[in-house]
Amino acid sequence: MPVTVLLGTVPPMLAALFFANYHADLKLRQDAQENIAIKAEILANTLSWWNQTKVSTLKQLSQQPDIVSMDAERQKSVLKNLAESDKSIYLASTASLDGWNVARSDGNKPEYYGDRRWFLQAKAGKDITGQTLIGRTIKKPAICMGTPIRQESSEIVGVAMLCTELSALAEQIGQLQFGKTGYALLVDQTGKVLAHPNSAMLHGEKLNNLSQYPPITNILEGRNGFFKFKNEQDVDWVSYGISLENGWRVALIQEEAEFLRNEQELKNLTYIIALVAVITVSTLTWLLANHLIRPISQLTTAAKAITSGQLDRKVEIERQDELGILATSFNKMANRLQTSFTELEQRVRERTAELDTAKEAAENANQTKDKFLAQISHELRSPLNTIITYGTVLQEKSDLKPNLVKGLRVMRESGVYLLNLIEDILDFSKLKVSKIELNPTYLHWQSFLDGILAMIEIRAREKQLQFECEIEGKVETSIWADEKRLRQVLLNLLNNAVKFTERGKVTFRVSVLKETEELINNSPCPQQKLRFEVMDSGIGISPEHLEKIFQPFEQVSLSEQRANGTGLGLAISKQIVEMMGSQLEVQSELAMGSIFWFDLSLPVTQALPEAKDDGSVTALSSDTLKNKILIVDDKEENHLALNNILKPLGFEIVSVENGQLALEIAPFIQPDLILLDLYMPVKTGFTLMGELRKMPKFENIPIILISACSREVLQKASQHFGCEAFLTKPIEENKLLDLLEEYEMLPKHVIPI
């Protein structure tokens, strides 16, 4: 964290500082240049003014009448006066055109000027001419200037001359020093020194020439202004040069280090400020980290720890300021949180314990309910069975009055309805609590289909409905499905279709939608996706009822049709289809009819289903009928019921009322099938069966156990004792007939009406 603060503050601060320094630096350099330029300009102006003064003095002199007169006496007094009025003029003189002095201010004897260039130029008419030199009389640098003397006719009659010593000027310039190294110097147009701080440069017979000195060379070559150069000791210097009107050059020279001293000082100052700033910021950051960031990061760490479940984590900050208050509040909050969690955990534990108890109680209640249901169904079935059986038997008595026959029919039908209802409720409640598991096997498709068709054909015929079965595609020989449950669903849908159709037709369509190969236990297994559809042209279902029909006890049809059903069939079918991994769908229109359908992906095989334990397969046909049946039951009404079913089919029935009798009689009559009641006095069905199976003649004949109790334990036990099938009372005709078919005692599809 402190590092982040430092990284966030120091670089931008340094950048700002160096940026400001860079600009200040530029400004200072400009200022230094301007400074030296201004000094040079002032000096140049002073020199120009000085030059102008001398030039105008000379010109005025040349125009004075006494001078123009070229009279020696008159000229002499004028020249003398002039020299006396200006001390820098050490000689004022005139010369005639032959080059000899006419008059001189110093009164010396005439000198010859005819060989001087400036004299010759003035004589030739040049306005102002001049030459810098070491004055012959004064032995110091001087400038001698000449101008023509003209009469009124402009004719040149002589030359007026002024010789001015430069020592005053030189002194003035030489004194112009700035800083430790800065100085000014003046040279003439050829580079000869006229003024220099070093007076030695101004001594001697001749003027010193500086034309090879770089700053002077530079100006002489015409480059005025700023110039940078190195001296012999390789030190950097700067100069500023200006050319004057009369050809003189003035130069200001300074060592660069001094020239840029301010800039350097500013740089140093910047470095110092930067250093101080970095130290200050680092110190502040460190202090801040100690004072603010560290406690905050302690808080953060503690908050993270609490989030990860360490609720006992505390922040140790003993301060009185806001952070201290924050830490205290945080600790309080953590404490509160811990207490709440502990309470919550306690409550959860208690609630879990309560739930466990409740669950146990519910499970117990459920078991009791299951027991009760099984018990009650047994209790209800037996008397109901009796009622139905007697109802059936009595109905057939020819001497009964018609209204009694009708009453008996209603009684029988109500009994059957109640039995169905009990059966469905049991089935449904088992499905609801997932007590039913699918038990798929490879079943012979055609036989399975034929069985269903036979049953529905009869019912459709009863109602004079057209019934059609359409198979689209080729369903494989055997399909892998829970035969009982698939049949239950299809029969429910087909029965409903027949039940809710008064005219027209019912169609059962099976289509092969897709053939695939699925991997089952790592080996490819062919699968067929089959669609089962049941269509009718019946009463249909209104859209608002469509959703309801799958709910238990929902019947949306007319009351007389309702009376035939329990309202549980579709709820059960829907559950079974879902267990098979599909959905039961419906489309319907009032007065037009309905379609119910579902798709199943089923493993299929070309092989016939494996033979069952008794060597039979699902589909069998035989011409040789076996027809002797032994019924062992202690209740007369059961004998009546079974006789009622079997006799019309031409079976030879032998009825005995207890197990002992059965054991004695059986070897004599040699039955092809034995129907055995489970609960009987003297000998139970299981005991009798055990003894029968011990006799070689009865080792293999089919024995069907019959009981009013449908509990699976009994069914399993019956298998264990070696019986072929288990039927519950009242005997469902179809189931019994199915079994007879299976045992080759009935030709296929011969089902009595």
Q: Which residues here bind ligand ADP, judged by CB under 6 A?
A: 492, 496-497, 500, 536, 538-541, 549, 554-557, 562, 565-571, 594
- Closer by beta carbon to ligand ADP, 533 or else 637: 533
240 in Cβ contact with 37 (< 8 Å): yes
**Is the CB of 570 or the CB of 706 nearer to ligand ADP?**
570
- Residue type at 542? S
d(CA 552, CA 29): 102
C-alpha dist (Å) from residue 282 to 273, 274, 733: 14, 12, 101
Specify the DSSP class assigned to residue 100: B
Minimum CB separation from ligand ADP for residue 595, in Å? 9
Q: Which is nearer to ligand ADP, 208 or 496 (CB)?
A: 496
* Cβ proximity to ligand ADP, 460 vs 705, nearer residue: 460
Rounded to 5°, angle at Cα 622 from 617 and 625: 120
CB of 468 to ligand ADP, least distance (A): 15
Q: Which is nearer to ligand ADP, 18 or 550 (CB)?
A: 550
Contacts of 241 (CB under 8 A, 6+ apart): 40, 215, 216, 218, 219, 223, 224, 225, 227, 249, 250, 251, 252
Please report how close the Cβ of residue 423 comes to ligand ADP at its closest, in angstroms: 12
Minimal distance, residue 564 CB to ligand ADP, in Å: 7
> Rounded to the nearest whole angstrom, what is the least distance from the CB of residue 535 to ligand ADP in the complex?
9
- Separation between Cα atoms, residue 351 and residue 353, nearest integer Å: 5
- Name the residue nearer to ligand ADP (CB basis): 215 or 565: 565
State the Cα–Cα distance between residues 68 and 96, nearest whole angstrom: 11
Tell me how far apart the alpha carbons of residues 628 and 239 are, in angstroms, rounded to a whole number. 146
Minimum distance of ligand ADP from residue 548's CB (angstroms): 8
Q: How far is the CB of 470 from ligand ADP (least distance, A)?
A: 17
CB of 680 to ligand ADP, least distance (A): 35
Query: Which residues, in sequence order, are CB contacts of 164 under 8 Å at separation 6+?
Result: 54, 88, 89, 90, 142, 143, 144, 145
Give CA–CA dist 595/509, Å, rounded: 10
Q: Dihedrals φ, ψ of 309, to 5°?
A: 110, -5
Residue nearest to ligand ADP (CB): 565
DSSP one-letter string for 290-301: IIIIHHHHHHHH
Bridge partners of residue 529, in order along the sequence: 514, 601
Query: Is the separation of the CB atoms in 448 and 489 below 8 Å?
Result: no
* Residue 349 Cβ vs ligand ADP, minimum distance, rounded to whole Å: 45
Return the number of the residue (552 or 609) whose C-beta is nearest ligand ADP.
552
Helix, strand, coil percentages (3-state) for the chain, rounded to 5, are: 50, 20, 30
**Nearest C-alpha neighbor of 680 from the set 708, 647, 653:** 708
Q: Which residue number, 541 or 576, has a Cβ lying nearer to ligand ADP?
A: 541
> 156 or 556: whose CB is closer to ligand ADP?
556
Smaller CB separation from ligand ADP, 182 or 538: 538
Distance, in Å, from the CA atom of 387 to the CA atom of 414, rounded to the nearest integer, reads: 10
Sign of CA dihedral 327, 328, 330, 331: positive
> What's the closest the beta carbon of residue 487 comes to ligand ADP, in angstroms?
15
Name, in order, each residue with C-beta under 8 angstroms of 701's C-beta and a sequence gap of 6 or more.
671, 672, 673, 674
Closer to ligand ADP at the Cβ: 392 or 588? 588
**CA geometry: angle 71, 75, 78, nearest 5 deg:** 155
Query: What is the nearest approach in angstroms of ligand ADP to the Cβ of residue 562?
Result: 6
Instruction: Give me the least distance between CB of 424 and ligand ADP, in Å please.
Output: 8
Distance in Å, CB of 463 to ligand ADP, minimum? 13
Q: Are strands 466-472 and 505-520 parallel, antiparallel or unpaired?
A: parallel
Complex with ligand ADP: residue 143 or 576, whichever CB lies closer? 576
To 5 degrees, how large is the angle CA 85–CA 192–CA 202?
60
- What CA–CA distances, in Å, run from 409 to 389, 394, 420, 751? 11, 9, 16, 22
Closest distance between ligand ADP and the C-beta of residue 658, in Å? 39
| For ligand ADP, the closer CB: 74 or 545 | 545
| Residue 284 or 425 having the CB closest to ligand ADP | 425
Residue of 571, 541, 544 whose CA lies nearest to 557: 541
Other CB atoms within 10 Å distance of the CB of residue 276: 10
Scored b (16 or more CB within 10 A) or e, 189-204 reads eebbbbbbbeeebbee
Using the minimum distance from each CB to ligand ADP, give the nearer residue, 451 or 538: 538
Phi first, then psi, for residue 343 (nearest 5°) are -60, -45
- Closest distance to ligand ADP from the beta carbon of 464 (Å): 17
